Amino acid sequence: MAQSKHMAQSKQERSQIGDSLLWGMAPAFASPLVMIIADLNGAFMEGLATAQKEGADFLQRRIREDVVVTRQLLNCHSLADMHQAYAEYLQTAFQQYREQSDKVMKHSESSAQHVAEATATDAKAVERARH
């Protein structure tokens, strides 16, 4: 019983210490610089997640195309059939890679623009907070 009372007191004391530490740190976390960094980090993480999903979707499509062309090549009866199947495959692959590259470039430009706008807005807020 004495041990459980001691454990309860230690838990309560730890909780109070943790609360006081958090309250003491709250002003630091509310500083404009920390807010800017948090906004930039959030924008970066969202962009990264989107890019990863789009990349995985693209990779999955390309793997499906690879499997299809392999089956087509195995079913070809002449060199001309193989040439036709592989030419169509390469044309599709180049088109898909070009489209994916365009998406990546647009997404990068959009992310950079968003970060620039967020930084400018946050910088103005920091300037206002100083005055």
Distance CA 71, CA 103 (A): 29
Do 21 and 44 belong together in one domain? Answer: no
Query: Range of 55's domain?
Result: 31-130
Do 10 and 40 belong together in one domain? Answer: no
pLDDT at 79: 95
**pLDDT per position as a tens digit, 102-111:** 998 888 888 7
Do 74 and 120 belong together in one domain? Answer: yes
Do 52 and 77 belong together in one domain? Answer: yes
Do 7 and 50 belong together in one domain? Answer: no
Q: Pseudo-torsion of CA 68, 79, 77, 67, nearest 10°? A: -10
Do 24 and 65 belong together in one domain? Answer: no
Do 50 and 108 belong together in one domain? Answer: yes
**Whether the predicted model's global pTM rises above the 0.75 cut:** no
Nearest one of 96, 98, 36, 26 to 68, comparing CA atoms: 96
Distance CA 128, CA 123 (A): 9
Amino acid in position 28: A
